[in-house]
Amino acid sequence: MTDTHERATIVSDETLSNGWTRLSSYTLDYTDRGGATHRLRREIFHRTPAACILLHDARRDIVVLAKQFRLPAYLTGDPAWMIEVPAGLLDGDGAEEAIRREAMEETGYRVRDVKFLFKALTSPGSVTEVVHFFYAPIDLSDRVEDGGGLAEEHEDIEVLELPLDEAVAMIGSGEIIDAKTIMLLQWAVINRASLAG
């Protein structure tokens, strides 16, 4: 396989593992800014695109978050029950369709008005996953189910409704360490005046 993009050429792509996600070992020739070419080796996790959403009740100024077990956090010694915004893989759907599904499954909230904010690579040094970030205003009438995740996927999600300021404070205290959640909470603080109107 040969793929050339400006100063990088893929020489080889070897699959090391192909389970829940694919792990590849790449060899590439990379030409640096000085014109010298180097042969590099990198391991990359191939992840399908994902989406996440901040559910915000402006009248009560609360956000709806999900708390669930995360093995990588457990392995690093961080709080294994992580507090996050609702999120999930696209699974072949469009980003908006997927995040509406995930919000309902995880929190029980029906999402009506969805606003796309931006997309980001959260770990571009080693993971291909692109995450689509959304915002949706909600109120109490939008909670039409219990949420908690899908039993067939062994999801065990606790739904949390927290004041926005309390959720933001949990970033500083280390109770919220998920990057996508931090990004969306900070976006909400920056845009608070327009969200209240």
**Least confident span in 58-72, 80-94, 131-145, 146-160:** 146-160
* Residue 54 binned pLDDT confidence (cut-offs 50, 70, 90): very high
CA distance 192 to 77: 33
* Global pTM exceeds 0.85: yes
Which two structure tokens, joined as six digits, stand for 76?
Answer: 């690093």
Amino acid at the residue 32: D
54: closest CA among 83, 75, 94, 23?
A: 83
pLDDT tens per residue, range 75-97: 999 989 999 999 999 988 999 99
Number of other CB atoms surrounding residue 84 within 10 Å: 22
Render 36-84 in DSSP notation, one character per residue: -EEEEEEEEEE---EEEEEEEETTTTEEEEEEEE-HHHHHHTS-SEEEE
Place of tokens 């996440």: 52
Percentage of the residues of the chain whose pLDDT score is greater than 90 = 78
Model confidence at 1: pLDDT above 50: no
pLDDT of 38 reads 94
* Residue 130 binned pLDDT confidence (cut-offs 50, 70, 90): very high
Model confidence at 4: pLDDT above 60: no
pLDDT tens per residue, range 16-47: 999 888 999 999 999 999 999 999 999 999 99
Place of tokens 């990198």: 42
- What does residue 90 show for φ and ψ, rounded to 5 degrees? -70, -30
CA distance 185 to 116: 15
Model confidence at 154: pLDDT above 60: no
Which two structure tokens, joined as six digits, stand for 161?
Answer: 């409704």
